[in-house]
């Protein structure tokens, strides 16, 4: 997620730039992202812009009902045994049926979640993440779960972003389960990734997802306003949205829309092996094109986006999707959707779907996330650099964006590290400078040290090996070193990523 920022002056990253950066370092979670100062300049604009170890089941093989067939990536088959320590729950199928009011501001319906305990330990409780409650917490929850069956809901926790569900019976490793509940969504009245701007409604992280359990236990991190806290495993989604005919529905996955009752449309969406699901609703304009590899690129734009901006955004999206496929490997989904507007809050990535300011640097950064976070997942709260630093590096490399910090690096504090987590940045600031700018400097330095061809080959191999899985700092450093003819320890040390 690039942070929207005001453009800064030109020149060397000296006193003026350092002063601008120093001012931005005071940014806290409660401040607007638009107050951050742009430190990475583009030639065209200055706006900011090994697969997961198979989850093998023990004991009797359990069958999980798949989502409806679609052109999406194939559903993973359920194997028979799994390593002693695994992530889960796995083999998840979300089925969502929602009906909108006349504007798209309120959605009501139901949701079911089928999954298998792939953690290797007995689970008596599972957790649902309700990230849509992150901004307002329990004072005004925008996402509510009621009438839950398959377990007993406990009291919401972590600012109402985590809901415990005590299972009717403890789940043994390899055992499937099913939860059903009613779902109530009220889009907050703010211009945000979960909010709206006039008649355009964005429902990012509005749908509940299962929390992740691994060797560290359940991951129940708090919501981060200035970054992401999300950590989820791939799943299959089947979503049915009943909405006013005047509203277009850009979304994760591939959609088919048919007339429903008078004045209404039923949009059915299938998305396979994705980490999350997001959608929007509004009277968007639409354009589309195909990449050289046959990926459908759909651009949805608001009425404040000019025809020239729409053309350039679509052309840039097609170019970057082809570029990144060459660098990081084939994009496995049939389409990617972009929602473009002059948002005050910034841009945001979701699987096969991004929300972006109509500037090429923002478009490139968000589309790079389709590989780094979308295909190769990571714990975005603990290790934000594993997706943001690579996405920012990819943007700079693809657009010719100039990162002035690399030539004259400095750190906001002695204990700031590229590998710091959101807990550090939420308390101390410096997130954009350290993770995006200094983090991308690390990637450029690794490229120089290994050589461009060897470096890109490593990234492609790493993305292929960890596709649909989870990247970790240990794996990234070890596999980079294994691909390098020289010692990379000094590089990681230089950028505080050891």
Q: What is the pLDDT of residues 459-490, one digit of tens each?
A: 999 999 999 999 999 999 999 999 999 999 99
Residue 441 predicted with pLDDT over 70: yes
How far is 288 from 116, CA to CA, in rounded Å?
38
318-374 confidence digits (pLDDT tens): 999 999 999 999 999 999 999 999 998 989 999 999 999 999 999 999 999 999 999
DSSP 436: I
Nearest to 92 by CA among 239, 220, 229, 274: 274
Residue 482: count of CB within 10 angstroms of its CB: 10
Mean pLDDT value across residues 399-408: 95
123-174 confidence digits (pLDDT tens): 999 999 999 999 999 999 999 999 999 999 999 999 999 999 999 999 999 9
Residue 369 · residue 356 · CB < 8 Å: no
> Percent of the chain beyond pLDDT 90?
81
Residue 197 predicted with pLDDT over 80: yes
Confidence of residue 2 (pLDDT cuts 50, 70, 90): low
Return the minimum-mean-pLDDT range out of 75-89, 262-276, 324-338, 454-468.
75-89
Residue 284 burial by Cβ neighbours in a 10 Å radius (0-12, 13-18, 19+)? buried
Residue 459 has a pLDDT of 98
Q: Which of the pair, 183 or 85, is modelled with greater confidence? A: 183
Confidence of residue 416 (pLDDT cuts 50, 70, 90): very high
Residue 30 predicted with pLDDT over 90: no
Mean pLDDT value across residues 401-414: 95
Whole-model pTM?
Answer: 0.86
Residue 61 predicted with pLDDT over 50: no
Q: Which of the pair, 191 or 42, is modelled with greater confidence? A: 191
With tokens 């638009």, the residue in question is 34
Mean pLDDT of the chain: 87
Residues forming a β-bridge with 267: 241, 257
With tokens 């919501």, the residue in question is 223
Nearest to 313 by CA among 7, 66, 5, 44: 44
Residue 68 has a pLDDT of 30
Residue 70 has a pLDDT of 33
Q: Encoding tokens for residue 395?
A: 């943007």
Residue 3 has a pLDDT of 55
Confidence of residue 22 (pLDDT cuts 50, 70, 90): very low
Residue 291 has a pLDDT of 98
Residue 345 · residue 338 · CB < 8 Å: no
CA 370 to centroid of chain Cα atoms: 8
How far is 33 from 142, CA to CA, in rounded Å?
22
Q: What DSSP assignment string belongs to 292-341?
A: TT--EEEEEE-TTS-HHHHHHHHHHHHHHHHHHHHHH----SSEEEEEE-
Residue 226 has a pLDDT of 85
Residue 79 has a pLDDT of 38
Q: Decide: helix, strand or coil at residue 259.
A: strand
Mean pLDDT value across residues 269-290: 98
How far is 149 from 281, CA to CA, in rounded Å?
29
């Amino acid at each position: 997620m690039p942070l929207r920022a005001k453009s800064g002056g030109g020149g060397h990253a000296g006193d003026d730039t350092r002063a601008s950066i120093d001012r931005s370092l005071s940014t806290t979670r409660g401040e607007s992202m638009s107050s951050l100062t742009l430190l990475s300049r583009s030639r065209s604009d200055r706006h900011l812009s090994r697969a997961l170890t198979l989850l093998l089941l023990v004991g009797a093989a359990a069958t999980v009902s798949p989502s409806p067939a679609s052109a999406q990536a194939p559903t993973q088959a359920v194997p028979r045994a799994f390593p002693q320590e695994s992530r889960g729950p796995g083999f998840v199928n979300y089925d969502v049926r929602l009906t909108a009011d006349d504007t798209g501001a309120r959605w009501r319906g139901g949701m079911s979640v089928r999954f298998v305990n792939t953690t290797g330990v007995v689970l008596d409780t599972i957790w649902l993440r309700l990230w849509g409650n992150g901004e307002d917490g329990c004072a005004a929850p925008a996402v509510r779960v009621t009438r839950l069956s398959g377990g007993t809901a406990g009291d919401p926790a972590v600012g109402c972003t985590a809901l415990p569900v005590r299972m009717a019976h403890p789940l043994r490793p390899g055992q499937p389960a099913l939860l059903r509940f009613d779902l109530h969504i009220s889009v907050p009245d703010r211009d945000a990734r979960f909010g709206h701007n006039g008649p355009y409604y964005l429902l990012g992280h509005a749908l509940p997802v299962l929390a992740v359990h691994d060797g560290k236990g359940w991951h129940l991190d708090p919501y981060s306003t200035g970054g992401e806290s999300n950590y989820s495993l791939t799943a299959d989604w089947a979503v049915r949205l009943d909405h006013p005919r005047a509203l277009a529905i850009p979304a994760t996955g591939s959609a088919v829309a048919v007339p429903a009752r008078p004045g209404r449309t039923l949009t059915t969406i299938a998305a396979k092996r994705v980490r999350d699901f997001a959608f929007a609703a509004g009277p968007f304009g639409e354009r589309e094109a195909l990449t050289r590899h046959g990926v459908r690129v759909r651009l949805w734009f608001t009425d404040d986006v000019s025809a020239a901006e729409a053309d350039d955004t679509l052309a840039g999206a097609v170019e970057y999707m082809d570029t990144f496929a060459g660098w990081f490997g084939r994009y496995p989904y049939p389409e990617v959707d972009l929602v473009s507007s002059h948002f005050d809050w910034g841009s945001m990535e979701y699987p096969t779907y991004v929300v972006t300011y109509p500037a090429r640097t923002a478009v490139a950064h968000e589309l790079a996330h389709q590989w780094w976070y979308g295909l190769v997942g990571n714990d975005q709260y603990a290790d934000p650099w594993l997706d943001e630093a690579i996405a920012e590096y990819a943007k700079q490399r693809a657009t010719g964006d100039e990162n002035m910090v690399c030539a004259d690096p400095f750190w906001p504090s002695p204990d700031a590290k590229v590998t710091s987590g959101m807990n550090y940045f939420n308390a101390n600031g410096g997130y954009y400078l350290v993770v995006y700018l200094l983090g991308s400097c690390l990637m450029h330095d690794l490229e120089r040290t290994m050589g461009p061809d060897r470096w890109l080959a490593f990234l492609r191999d790493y993305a292929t090996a960890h596709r649909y899985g989870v990247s970790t700092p240990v794996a990234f450093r070890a596999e980079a070193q294994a691909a390098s003819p020289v010692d990379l320890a000094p590089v990681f040390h230089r950028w505080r990523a050891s």
